Structure 1
Amino acid sequence: MLPAAVADPRDASSLEDALLACFDAAGFTRLNPPILQPADVFLDLSGESIRRRMYLTVDTEGRELCLRPDLTIPVARAVLDEKLPLPAKVSYLGSVFRFRGEGSGEFRQAGVESFGRADIEAADAQILALGLNACAVYGLAQPEIRLGDVGLFAALLEALPLAPALRRRLLKDFGQGRLDTDLTQLAARPQEGAAAHAGVLAALTGADPAAARALITDLLSIAGISTVGGRSVSEIAERFLEQSALDAGGGVSRETGEILSRYLAISGSPDEASARMRALAAEAGIDLSAALGVFDRRTGFLTAYQVNLADVRFSTAFGRPLDYYSGMVFELHDPTGRAAGPLVAGGRYDRLLSRLGAPECVPGVGLAAWVERLAALDLSREAAR
């Protein structure tokens, strides 16, 4: 429910003020990180594919910089740089910059990030509830709720007899819309493919992954290769090493492929999906009890935050196209289809701060709201009156 202070957003000076007041009432303090950011952070955490959508420049010392393409990573860096005590609850509102199919490359984004809470299921539920509140500020009382769980899929992969390279490939592609293709290509993968790269693989056996990637990158550069199909040299090198490791490790067995396919076909309300996942795990003889325990406890907290579970559409195959998510992921959409893309999206990313330099893993969860999409819905609602 909306806090009483912003129950009627029209009483605020603007909808953005009302949105920030909503976040403030929930205990989130606003941060405003710099617009200019180091580019390598986004490339490392979001994948090289984001490079094509970033506004890039270079400083006088040759370091690659960018206009911030989102605010989650800059806010996380600010939490570390400013040494904020944990748990920390922060909010933001500002411009982000990236090439996209719709409208200008500059657009407004608001959101909240929660770092350091040990009660992860309650924190997850609060963030999703705040996303619903953000929609309510703009007059959308019942958005479509899409829910997924990267942590559950990762637990399934760990429980199955898969080579490490296969696990990394499948987890990396979760949320990218490539899992069906992966399973088709990896099923009964022929072993003889490894022979094509046997010499290079033998030379790299036991090598540090970063050193192996650097070697392949150097070889490509010496050969005069800079890009292929839009991929950078580092992307090509990483893809080569991944494919070679997959060739060496074989494919997905028919039995394992069937379990994965059945898992990825599960959808419905959280309670329905939980029952089906437990039944599949029991039938397949795999232990998902810890991950499913987190899932069920979160469902209970969603109810406590007055989220109507009948409005929640959970899908085991649903993810978001960012590498750093580690648990719950969600998107809120306009059920009438007036907005192209999500209005609010977010999820859990427990490894984000440690990948940015924190000495240990820090639980984290947050959301981002596309302010202009929400505002457009509010304007269309007003025009219909």
Structure 2
Amino acid sequence: MSSIALPAGLRDQFGTEAESKDQISAWLMKNLRSRGYRRIITPIVERRDLFAEFNMQSEQYRVIDPAGDELVLRPDLTLPVARFLATTNVKLPQKIYYLGERFQAAPELSGGKNEQTQAGIELIGYGSLKAEMEGVILMHQLNRHLLDNQLTIELGHARLVDTILDALELDEELQQQLAQALYHKNFPAYEKLLRQVDAPQTMPFLRKWPWLFGTLAEVNDMLAEVKVPELARPLLGQLKTVAEFAGELADQQVIVDLSSAVPQKYYTGIVMKGYVEKTTGAYLISGGRYNRLLANFQSQLEPAVGLGINIDALAEATALKPVKKQPVFVYAPFELLGQAAALVEKHGNYSLALADSLQEAQQQAQTAGAKLVALDAKKGMKEC
């Protein structure tokens, strides 16, 4: 039996769990189609080199194709979209949506799964902050329709930490240590590292920096007491603009974080994340601006904003449950199967009872939680 067991980190999904994901995915795909997005389906395997520059833990799922090329099960769905656009003549701008599986090794002992279903959007060729606002609107729609207004949108800026630390002209090791302490909100480590920094004019801000997260009003109050480094002000202005927009949406909880960790190294601007308190620390939604990603594959830069939606985590957190009519099985002898077929085609929740006897059909219906109707040449149709 062990020879056919699932590999570690993978799982089968069946019944209500799988149906909930189907219902969420169907609602989301219909929503995006109706708003002018175009569907893309990329292969589940890609060349390993596509992901080589990024730490995506893709090494666990490596395969060799018939030509001898090294491939991986895709750990990310944005990079395949970038690869597609760089190798085709699709005219930009484009609003693209996708749905598929991604494979990435979960942190050890985290309880996470190595395979996840992910949906998402890619807004390619749009340089305006309105693209970020489009992403916020989608998050708000998910919040209202699926999450009973329990979603918190967390906003940050991918370049804020590096921009401020670069201006301090620190050695590379110290700069990386400070960044990691900020990202992980490791206050004791950050304060200890800060003793090695000689920046009197910036120090009031640096001391307060790890605590600069919360509602926009709370962060503005804290910023009123310190001077923001000059190079960071335009980035902070972008962040405030998007946060103010998000905060105007009905029943939407919004926080900002001035030391937010970047989901992937290719992000260059506003970073958007969404979570609900009852989930186990996983972000349901994650994305942001990545204006330089296509430069990895072509000389021309294209502005872009993407948003990935973890369908597994969303199904776990959602208030939406599969809703369906009770199925009805139709039992009929072979000579009346034509009539049974007519009933099945007329009613969406009818199907044939796949049994050779009425007793067996009753057992099947009971197991499936279905009603049973039987056709009889003399008595017509009756419920059993």
Both proteins in one fold, TM over 0.5: yes
- After TM superposition, the structure 1 = structure 2 runs for residues 1-385 of structure 1, keeping only pairs within 5 Å, are 14-45=23-54, 47=55, 50-51=56-57, 54-59=60-65, 63-100=69-106, 101-102=110-111, 104-119=113-128, 121-158=129-166, 160-163=167-170, 165=172, 169=176, 173=180, 177=184, 183=190, 186-187=193-194, 252-253=197-198, 255=200, 259-274=205-220, 276-277=222-223, 279-281=225-227, 286-302=230-246, 306=249, 311-335=253-277, 337-354=278-295, 356-378=296-318
Identical columns (%): 25
Determine the C-alpha separation between the residues in 2 that align with 1:186 and 1:175: 11
- Is the CA contact 1:129–1:307 (under 8 Å) kept in the aligned structure 2? no
Query: 67-76 or 253-262, which moves further after superposition?
Result: 253-262
Q: Over residues 330-381 of structure 1, what are the superposed CA-to-partner deviations in whole Å (9 max), with x where a residue is unaligned?
A: 221123x145511111112222111x22323322111111112222334786
Provide structure 1 residue ranges, at least 5 long, that are not aligned to the other structure. Answer: 1-9, 189-250
Q: CA deviation at 1:20?
A: 0.7
Residue 141 of structure 1 aligns to a residue whose secondary structure is coil
**Mapped partners of 1:174, 1:31: distance in 2:** 38
Flag structure 2 segments of 5+ consecutive residues without an equivalent: 1-18, 324-384
Amino acid at match of 1:23: L
Q: Residue 42 of structure 1: CA displacement?
A: 1.9
Using the size of structure 1 for normalisation, the TM-score is 0.66
Q: Which has the higher contact order (CA 8 A, sep 6+)?
A: 1
Q: Which has the larger radius of gyration?
A: 2
Partners of 2:178 and 2:306 in 1: how far apart? 21
Q: Deviation of residue 166 (structure 1)?
A: 5.7
Letter in 1 for 2:299: P
Report if aligned partners of 1:111, 1:369 keep a CA contact under 8 Å in 2.
yes
TM-score by length of 2: 0.67
1:50-79 superposed Cα distances (whole Å, 9 cap, x missing partner) = 336641123466643210112111122222
Tell me if the contact between 1:346 and 1:366 (Cα under 8 Å) persists in the aligned partners. Answer: yes
Please state whether the residue corresponding to 1:350 is helix, strand or coil.
Answer: coil
Residue pair 1:22, 1:133 contacting (<8 A) in 2 also: no
Per-residue displacement from partner, 1:80-105 (whole Å, max 9, x unpaired)?
Answer: 22232222111000111222244653
Cα pair distance change 1:331/1:271, threshold 3 Å: same
